[in-house]
Chain A
Amino acid sequence: EAGVTQFPSHSVIEKGQTVTLRCDPISGHDNLYWYRRVMGKEIKFLLHFVKESKQDESGMPNNRFLAERTGGTYSTLKVQPAELEDSGVYFCASSQGRWNYGYTFGSGTRLTVV
């Protein structure tokens, strides 16, 4: 089966610009997660979708971040306007059914804000 796909793989934008990251989960996986790793730090939870509904968005840093999952398939994460501290690697993961069986991660999007 196809894995979790994220694009772009890299993005370099200027402070104040907008960037949209996309994640295509494994087909049929209802659960979709966004995580972020800032340089040298731990991978931090951002939010969790179950189908098209936000189950938990407690990790979203602020209202400059907007995540959507229309139709319960792919998801987008928009950062608007981007700030320097938003730089990092954004990971998407999906799981089918029980989360505690482990996620399947995408290879991440490396975002650099200059």
Chain B
Amino acid sequence: AQSVTQPDIHITVSEGASLELRCNYSYGATPYLFWYVQSPGQGLQLLLKYFSGDTLVQGIKGFEAEFKRSQSSFNLRKPSVHWSDAAEYFCAVGYSGGYQKVTFGTGTKLQVIP
């Protein structure tokens, strides 16, 4: 069964510092990978997605993620964090040929301090 691991439950960074959120997924021939963000009181918003091609994908709000097949990872990065980035971030995976659903990780809460 497909699975996603987000090893960091909670991360605190200073405003302006760089950020990397980790995500590992269970092995699959052709994973579809996603990062979603949930701000307080809001629904989940798609930040970026990866299907194929260039392993470094750009998303909204200045985020990027890199797919590394050898490590089964899809880490999310941002070079300089803003206070408005404080939210919960979810990594998700789906596979072609299967049911049309994704499996989410448990989420990483990001706190941004001045």
Contact = CB atoms under 8 A, between A and B. Distances in A.
A102 B43 contact: no
A99 B41 CA distance: 25
B101 A48 contact: yes
A48 B99 contact: yes
A65 B43 CA distance: 22
Contacts of B32: 100
A99 B94 contact: yes
Contacts of A102: 34, 46, 49
Nearest to A45: B101
Contact of A99 (B4, B101, B104, B105): B101
Categorize the interface residue count of chain A: 20 to 34
B60 to A, nearest CB: 11
Contacts of B45: 105
B44 interface: yes
A95 B29 CA distance: 24
Contacts of B112: none
A107 B45 CA distance: 10
Contacts of B102: 45, 99, 103
B99 A56 contact: yes
Nearest to A46: B101
B8 to A, nearest CB: 14
B41 A107 contact: yes
B43 A106 contact: yes
Given A43-B90, A45-B101, A100-B32, A91 B43 contact: yes
B106 interface: yes
A64 interface: no
Contacts of A3: 43
Contacts of A105: 36, 43-45
B42 interface: yes
Interface of A: 3-4, 31, 33, 35, 40-45, 48, 55-56, 58-59, 91, 93, 99-108
10 contacts: A3-B43, A42-B107, A43-B107, A45-B101, A58-B99, A91-B44, A99-B100, A103-B102, A105-B45, A107-B42
